[in-house]
Structure 1
Amino acid sequence: MAEATAALSGAVVRYPGRPPIGPIDLSIAPGEIVALVGASGAGKSTILRLLAGLEPPSEGRVDRAAAPGRTGFVFQAATLMPWADARTNVALPLELAGVAASDARRRADEALATVGLGDRLTARPRQLSGGMAMRVSLARALVTEPDLLLLDEPFAALDSVTRRRLIEDLHRLWGAGSPRPAIVFVTHDVEEAVYLAGRALVLDTATGQVAAARTLPGPLPRPEGWRMDGAYRAAVEGLAHDLADAMTASSREAA
């Protein structure tokens, strides 16, 4: 078996004023797409920060095979520099890594073209719709050709049509990767999780531990009409049941 792109082993995170998150054990295989599903406060974003190396665990281990600079992170908000155009925003991680400015701009232009914004290279964030701004953020995460791509509910604030289009784009870009990056995607939406991922992990609300794991059916990227397939609908209902069970169990323990 190939070495995991990233893994948590007995990881515990302690914050003042709340019970600890963990211990958490999970492993992300190269090229797989994993959805993290759980209630607010279950530790989904904390797990992403651990996997990204942005936060150390209080206890346990984080193992990362991804090369330095080869982890992309897309946050809930686009987090673009408002004074800079799309090209400059996307080129930033390359320039910070020491890539020559001309090469960084060329690669930024290519990344923006892949997300459908090849004609908006010089647009400022204020000139972009919410969906366009998120595409710029996605291009910025992809421009380094990451081994690991972490997505923290980046489509939650978008309308349903734009959200579906961006998920289709994400599948297309992932499928075109060589090698394909591993993706860890945080969401509250079980339909989004089943459509996007090949595996879903449900987190316990109180501890952040993996309360249930479900391998999701069907090929990735998804074929046209997959949302109408009976296997998709059954997986959505199954994952919703897992989430409800995890939330109910946490409520009983809190009582």
Structure 2
Amino acid sequence: MAETAALSGVVVRYPGRAPIGPVDFNVAPGEIVAVVGASGAGKSTLLRLLAGLERPAEGTTSTRPGRVGFVFQTPTLMPWADALANVALPLELAGTPRAEARARAADALAAVGLGERLTARPHQLSGGMAMRVSLARALVTEPDLLLLDEPFAALDSVTRRRLIEDLHRLWASRAPRPSIVFVTHDVEEAVYLAGQTLVLDAATGRVTMALATPGALPRPEGWRAEAGYREAVERLAAELARSMATAGTGS
């Protein structure tokens, strides 16, 4: 298949709630896709389907053979281990010799700006630093598909912006570039980060809008002040508000 990953006619059922779907969308090689929607719309479910952690009741999921990285809403680091050991873990579990795994982990931590904090344990790191460790752990395996589930939601706006810039830089440095699916509640974050943003309906989880963002990735300095950025943000915000009001979840 041409896509890195795709969902076709996917329906997910949970007890006590209406079905999610059907959902149809695909992720092209090297594409960054953001997904926005109200709480409960199925954003995290979509990522679990792409990762193969969940199966749909109907429809099909397909992911091109390759490595998948997953960054969760919280860093989920081993509290007893230092940053280097946390990042090396997926390599060591895959059978990479310890010395090689630690060397690659050190490189990954340096890439996210933590080259001087290799021996720090999670309790010694700020929230932003801990999320950088989690990002390094996902990137150390050089994934073909990177899934991020609201990883910056608990961080302050300055730290979030820095991490998005880092993510763009790391994505652009890979050849070939990985595909990224990024879940967020923040439409401004979505437009800045992604080349395309999907809006999920609050009631059904269906894709109600797929909006391509103008301009190239990574973003040039000052891009947030451009008219194309503001227009895309307002269009997404209006569609998200419409979805939430229709489902009775609006304010």
TM range (shorter): over 0.9
Q: Which runs of 5+ in 2 are unaligned?
A: none
Matches for 1:187-226 after TM superposition, within 5 Å: 187-226=184-223
1:107 aligns with 2:104: yes
Question: In structure 2, which of residues 156, 162, 165 is the aligned counterpart of residue 165 of structure 1?
Answer: 162
Matches for 1:95-134 after TM superposition, within 5 Å: 95-134=92-131
> Which position in structure 2 is the counterpart of 1:52?
51
Any conservation in 2 of the 1:150–1:183 contact (CA below 8 Å)? Answer: yes
Residues 197-231 of structure 1, C-alpha deviations (whole Å, 9 max, x = no match): 00000001111110111111111000000111111
Q: Secondary structure at the match of 1:251?
A: coil
Q: Secondary structure at the match of 1:106?
A: helix
How far is 1:242 from its partner? 1.5
Residues 63-92 of structure 1, C-alpha deviations (whole Å, 9 max, x = no match): 01041xx10100010000000000110011
Q: Give the structure-1-normalised TM-score.
A: 0.96
> Which position in structure 2 is the counterpart of 1:25?
24
1:72 aligns with 2:84: no
Residues 138-193 of structure 1, C-alpha deviations (whole Å, 9 max, x = no match): 00000000000001000000011101100000000011111111000001111001
> Which position in structure 1 is the counterpart of 2:175?
178
AA in 2 matched with 1:39: A
State which drifts further: 50-59 or 194-203. 50-59
AA in 2 matched with 1:18: R
Alpha-carbon distance between aligned partners in 2 of 1:79 and 1:234, rounded to the nearest angstrom: 36
Alpha-carbon distance between aligned partners in 2 of 1:115 and 1:174, rounded to the nearest angstrom: 12
1:244 aligns with 2:241: yes
How far is 1:102 from its partner? 1.0
Q: Kindly report structure 1 stretches of 4+ aligned residues shifted beyond 3 Å.
A: none
RMSD, aligned CA: 1.1
AA in 2 matched with 1:72: G
Any conservation in 2 of the 1:6–1:66 contact (CA below 8 Å)? Answer: no
Alpha-carbon distance between aligned partners in 2 of 1:154 and 1:79, rounded to the nearest angstrom: 11
Alpha-carbon distance between aligned partners in 2 of 1:204 and 1:176, rounded to the nearest angstrom: 34
Identity percentage of aligned residues: 73
How far is 1:53 from its partner? 0.7
How far is 1:48 from its partner? 0.3
Alpha-carbon distance between aligned partners in 1 of 2:235 and 2:80, rounded to the nearest angstrom: 46
Any conservation in 2 of the 1:8–1:62 contact (CA below 8 Å)? Answer: yes
How far is 1:251 from its partner? 3.1
1:231 aligns with 2:224: no
Q: Give the structure-2-normalised TM-score.
A: 0.97
Matches for 1:1-40 after TM superposition, within 5 Å: 3-40=2-39
Matches for 1:115-154 after TM superposition, within 5 Å: 115-154=112-151
